[in-house]
A and B are shown apart, each in its own frame.
Chain A
Amino acid sequence: MLAIFKREIRSYFLSPVAYVFIGAFFILAGMFFMTGNILSGYPNINGTLSTMQLVLTFITPILTMKLLADERKTRTDQLLLTSPVSLTGIVMGKFLAALFVFFVTVLISLIYVVILFIFGSPSVAELINNYLGFFLVGMSFIAISIFASSVTDSQIIAAIVGFASILSLWIIDWVGGAFSNRIISDIVGWLSIMKRSEDFANGILKPASILYYISFSAVFIFLTIRVIDKRRWSEG
Chain B
Amino acid sequence: MIEIQNLTKKYGQIKAVNNLNFTVEKGEILGFLGPNGAGKSTTMNIITGFMPSTEGTVKVCGYDIAEEPKEVKRRIGYLPEIPPLYMDMTVKEYLDFVSELKMVDRSKRKGQMDDIMELVKVSDVRHRLIKNLSKGYKQRVGLAQALVGTPDVLILDEPTVGLDPKQIIEIRKLIKALGKQHTIILSSHILPEVSAVCERVVIINKGEIAAIDTPENLSKNFGSSSKFSVTIAGPKSSVVGAIKEIYGVMIVEAHIEKDNDVINYYIESTKEVDIRRPLFFAMAKAGYPILELKSMDMSLEDIFLQLTTDEKGVEQ
Contacts and interface: CB of A to CB of B under 8 A. Distances in A.
A75 B100 contact: no
A77 B98 CA distance: 13
B237 to A, nearest CB: 60
A216 to B, nearest CB: 30
B97 interface: yes
A236 B84 contact: no
Interface stretch (A7-15, A170-178, A190-198): A7-15
A123 interface: no
Given A3-B97, A75-B80, A79-B84, A84 B52 contact: no
B248 interface: no
Given A82-B50, A83-B101, A84-B102, A7 B86 contact: yes
A232 B88 contact: no
Given A7-B97, A79-B98, A232-B51, A84 B103 contact: yes
Contacts of A75: 80, 82, 84
Contacts of B80: 75, 78-79
Contact of B84 (A2, A4, A74, A235): A74
Interface residues of B, number: 32
B281 to A, nearest CB: 59
A46 to B, nearest CB: 39
B70 to A, nearest CB: 5
A233 interface: yes
A55 interface: no
A236 B48 contact: no
Interface stretch (B71-79, B189-197, B224-232, B294-302): B71-79
A2 B102 CA distance: 12
Contacts of B88: 11, 14-15
Interface of B: 9, 11, 16, 42, 45, 48-52, 70-71, 73-74, 76, 78, 80, 82, 84-89, 93, 97-98, 100-103, 145
Given A4-B101, A79-B101, A232-B52, 16 more contacts: A2-B100, A3-B101, A74-B84, A75-B84, A78-B78, A78-B80, A78-B82, A83-B73, A83-B101, A83-B102, A84-B71, A84-B74, A84-B103, A235-B51, A236-B9, A236-B45
